[in-house]
Structures are given as C-alpha cells and as structure tokens.
C-alpha cells in the first residue's frame, strides 16, 4: 500500500465505510447463496470464509461474492443446473482486493481507479491486520470522496475570504499610514526649504547649508516613496481614479526629460529624446499620472545604466493612431526569468542584501497599473549586459484630434 498517499489524505477511512457482513462458509452451495442474496437485497458483496464453525475460521477470508456478477452467472440459461449444487467457491472472486482499515477513502479511490474497471465494479474487503472487518464498494468510496471535496471547497473559500480580508486591512493600513506620514513630512519639507533659501537671513556657520539641503532632499525622497505606496495601495484597493485632462504630450515629455537631465548628467549618461517631425498629438488622460509613468521608467533607465551609457526616449504614432513611447537604455539589463516579476510590487532583481541601488520596487508596477488604468499597455524587453527597452502604448481613443480639445489646452496654458 502506498503509505504516502494514506498519510496525505485526511477525511473518512475504509473503517468508516465498511459493511460488517457476516461471512458465508466456503462449503455453502451456490443455490443457498442465491437464496440468501435474494433475501438480503441491500448486501452488495458477501465475503467467503473457510469452512468450519470456530471464530478463527470465520476470519479467514478466502474470497468475495459480488451480487451482480453472481446473479448474472447463476441466472443465465442452465446456470442453476450447472452451479446450484456446487460450493460457492466456483463463483466467488478468489483474490479480492483487501485494504487496511486505516486507509483513507481518497487513497482507496486512487487505488481502485489505478487497479482498473474490474476493481471499481467488484467490492473489496476491509481488514484490521489479519482480522476481517467488513466489505466495501466503490459507490461508498466515491460518496466519501465527494463529501471530502465539498468540505475542502468550503475550507478553501473560507481561507480565500480570510486572505482577501487581510489584504483589504493591509491596503487600508498602508493608505492611512501614508496619509499620516505625509502631513508632518510636508512641514519638514516646507521649513527646510525656507531655511535652505535663507529666507529670513544668512545661515552660519555655512556648512549648515549642506545639512539643510540633505534634510530637504531626503524629505523629498521620502515623500515620493510615500506617494508611491499610497498610489499602489489605492490601485490594489480599486480606488484609483483616472483623470481626463487634455494635455500636450510634447510639452509634458520635454518637461520630464528636463527633470531627469541633472540625474543623467550626474551619472554621466547621455539622455536624448526624439519626437516625430509632425509633432505629437494632444492626449486625454491624467497628466500627473502620465508624467509619473515616464519619470518612473526614465529614472530606472538612468539608475540601472553605468557611466558612459545612453538613455533615449523615442515617441511614435502608430498607423492605427496609438501613441508609442519607447525608452531604451544601454544598462545592466534584466535576466529573462525576472522580466515579469519586476512588475510585482516590491520586487527587485537584486536582493535587499546585495542591492547597490536605492528604491522600493514600486516604480514599474505603478507605471504598468497606471498605464492599464487608461486602457494602455506597458511591456519591456531586455538583455543582460546589453540594456532594456520599455514600451508604453497609449490607445488611439486617448488621442485627441478635434480642435475643441486643443482650445481647451490653450485655455489651460493662458490661465
Ligand atoms: N531599465 C532597467 N534596467 C535594469 N533593471 C531594471 C530596469 N528597470 C527596472 N529594473 C529592475 O526592476 C526592478 C523593479 O523596478 P522598479 O522601478 O519597480 O523598482 P525600483 O527602481 O527598484 O524602486 P522604485 O522605483 O520604487 O524606487 C528594479 O529593482 C530593477 O531590478
Ligand atoms: Mg524604479
């Protein structure tokens, strides 16, 4: 018996479904067995023990009579004449399946199915060591397994519900914590900015300037991390709200590249952008979100490219009107096994122990979730040691061609 299966399958066992049918002696005639079967319509299988009167003999099972098989053989033409006076041993199964009492019904099901159709049709004998306990049949096994499946389905649903509740609690906690952190942080940033600009007078000694600049920059970094966590929590909770601003992509993209220019120069990386000759269209989407998507991708491209490398931002309009933004770098690349994983929140290729670059692992998941919220797609291709290419596709229905939309944008700029 496969003990591994036995241990891995809880629920009812062979003992629970065994029918304690009193065995018939092997010397009983087939005619007598037929009469007994007719008189006991609920008995599916009848065990046969060696002839004798003692208890020890009664427990020595030598075969099993299956009701259906016996009746079929006995009631065919001349069956009665042929077998009536003969002992039951001529029509019994001489090597029935014997299973231990402790065997789970699930394991028993595996065993009978694996043994083939015959074993599923015929019954089996349940034994406790060398002692006979009862007979069993496949229908009882199946109903015990179905019961077990139903219990498991309920348990699984309950476990899923618990996971979902825990997830909602985590998301709410993240959202409220980020909110609480932002308030004091904004005060720190505001006052640090006042001091670094020396609004109310010069600082002395002068190296306080460096310290206050550090306070300001670290605060900014902390704020952007908190904002990312808050945005991710909103997306995961399904509370992310898209905006329908109409803005000029060209203006937004040149602003974003300007914002990244200093970081690129500091890292000695060339940063260039290409815009089609006929310019770029107006798009209807959240400008702040769009800017965030490009910033996240560009900052990765710069962060994961060594000095001397290059980062390019290429923009194209597809024939079907989709806008494609392609950000390419000549950086360290991503191992193929990690390409999809980097879109999971907090997932980073380098482990926290070996990490050489700062970050929380939210930039890409956020960029993808935001792009998808606007009906777009974001994917990347990469080769270790050669570089990475991230493509953001904004669908044609987000591109505005009508003049009223342009006027709306002009109005925003005039204001
Ligand atoms: N251009 C790239 N080249 C190489 N690896 C990249 C690139 N972009 C992303 N990755 C890998 O994907 C991981 C996830 O990127 P993601 O932007 O989500 O997180 P992060 O940059 O580590 O942190 P965060 O953006 O939250 O500051 C990165 O840690 C990095 O391992
Ligand atoms: Mg990042």
Q: Which of 177, 201, 236 is the last residue of a domain?
A: 236
**What is the structure's pLDDT at 412?**
43
Q: What is the mean pLDDT of residues 334-341?
A: 90
CA of 363 to the centre of ligand 1 (A): 7
CA of 284 to the centre of ligand 1 (A): 28
Pocket of ligand 1 (CB under 6 A): 228, 296, 300-301, 304, 329, 331-334, 342, 348-350, 359-365, 388
Please indicate, yes or no, whether residues 179 and 293 belong to a single structural domain of this protein: no
Q: Which of 236, 256, 286 is the last residue of a domain?
A: 236
Q: Taking each helix axis from N to C terminus, what angle separates 363-373 and 208-236, rounded to the nearest 10 degrees?
A: 50
Structural domain includes residue 13? yes
CATH number at residue 110: 3.10.580.10
**What is the structure's pLDDT at 107?**
94
Please indicate, yes or no, whether residues 44 and 119 belong to a single structural domain of this protein: yes
pTM: 0.62
Residue nearest to atom 19 of ligand 1 (CA): 361
Please indicate, yes or no, whether residues 213 and 330 belong to a single structural domain of this protein: no
Q: Residue 229 belongs to what domain range?
A: 161-236
Judged by average pLDDT, the poorest of 62-71, 151-160, 367-376, 401-410 is 401-410
Structural domain includes residue 141? no
**What is the structure's pLDDT at 46?**
94
Does residue 413 register a pLDDT over 60?
no
Please indicate, yes or no, whether residues 91 and 126 belong to a single structural domain of this protein: yes
CA of 299 to the centre of ligand 2 (A): 6
**What is the structure's pLDDT at 350?**
66
CA of 250 to the centre of ligand 1 (A): 25
Please indicate, yes or no, whether residues 72 and 97 belong to a single structural domain of this protein: yes
Atom number in ligand 1 closest to CA 305: 3
Residue nearest to atom 10 of ligand 1 (CA): 300
Q: How confident is the model at residue 84 (pLDDT cuts 50, 70, 90)?
A: very high
| Residue burial 227-265, b: 16+ Cβ < 10 Å; e: rest | ebbbbbbbbbeeebeeeebbbbbbebbeebbeebeeebe
Structural domain includes residue 44? yes
Non-local CB neighbours of 328 within 8 Å, separated by 6+ positions: 301, 311, 312, 314, 387, 388, 389, 390
The DSSP letter of residue 237 is T
Encode pLDDT of 185-194 as tens digits: 999 999 999 9
Neighbours of ion ligand 2 (CB under 5 A): 300, 363
CA of 301 to the centre of ligand 2 (A): 8
């Amino acid at each position: 018996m496969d003990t591994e299966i036995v241990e891995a399958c809880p629920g009812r066992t062979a003992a629970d479904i065994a029918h304690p049918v009193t065995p018939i002696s092997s010397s009983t005639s087939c005619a007598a067995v037929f009469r007994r079967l007719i008189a006991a319509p609920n008995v599916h299988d009848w065990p046969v023990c060696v002839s004798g009167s003692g208890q020890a003999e009664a427990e020595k099972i030598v075969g099993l009579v299956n009701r259906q098989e016996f009746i079929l053989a006995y009631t065919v033409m001349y069956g009665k004449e042929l077998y009536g006076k003969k002992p039951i041993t001529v029509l019994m199964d001489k090597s029935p399946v014997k299973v231990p009492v402790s065997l789970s019904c699930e394991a028993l099901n595996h065993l009978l199915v694996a043994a083939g159709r015959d074993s599923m049709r015929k019954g089996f004998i349940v034994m406790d060591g060398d002692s006979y306990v009862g007979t069993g049949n496949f229908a009882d096994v199946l109903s015990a397994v179905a019961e077990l499946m139903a219990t498991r389905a309920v348990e699984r649903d309950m476990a899923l519900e618990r996971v979902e509740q825990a997830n909602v609690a985590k998301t709410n906690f993240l959202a409220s914590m980020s909110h609480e952190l932002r308030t004091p942080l904004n005060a720190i940033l505001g006052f640090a900015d006042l001091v670094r600009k020396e609004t109310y007078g010069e600082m002395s000694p002068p190296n306080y300037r460096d310290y206050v600049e550090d306070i300001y920059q670290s605060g900014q970094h902390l704020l952007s991390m908190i904002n990312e966590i808050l945005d991710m929590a909103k997306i995961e909770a399904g509370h992310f709200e898209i905006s329908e601003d109409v803005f000029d992509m060209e203006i937004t993209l040149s602003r974003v590249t300007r914002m990244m220019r200093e970081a690129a120069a500091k890292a000695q990386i060339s940063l260039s952008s290409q815009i089609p000759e006929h310019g770029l269209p107006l798009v209807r989407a959240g400008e702040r979100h769009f800017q965030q998507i490009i910033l996240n991708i560009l900052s990765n491209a710069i962060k994961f490219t060594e000095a001397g490398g290059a980062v390019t931002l290429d923009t194209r309009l597809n024939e079907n009107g989709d806008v494609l933004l392609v950000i390419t770098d000549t950086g360290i690349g991503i191992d193929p096994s990690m390409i999809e994983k980097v879109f999971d929140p907090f997932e980073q290729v380098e482990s926290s122990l070996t990490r050489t670059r700062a970050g929380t692992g939210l930039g890409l998941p956020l960029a993808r979730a935001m792009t998808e919220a606007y009906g777009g797609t974001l994917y990347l291709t990469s080769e270790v040691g050669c570089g990475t290419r991230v493509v953001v596709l904004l669908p044609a229905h987000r591109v505005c061609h009508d003049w009223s939309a342009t006027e709306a944008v002009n109005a925003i700029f005039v204001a």
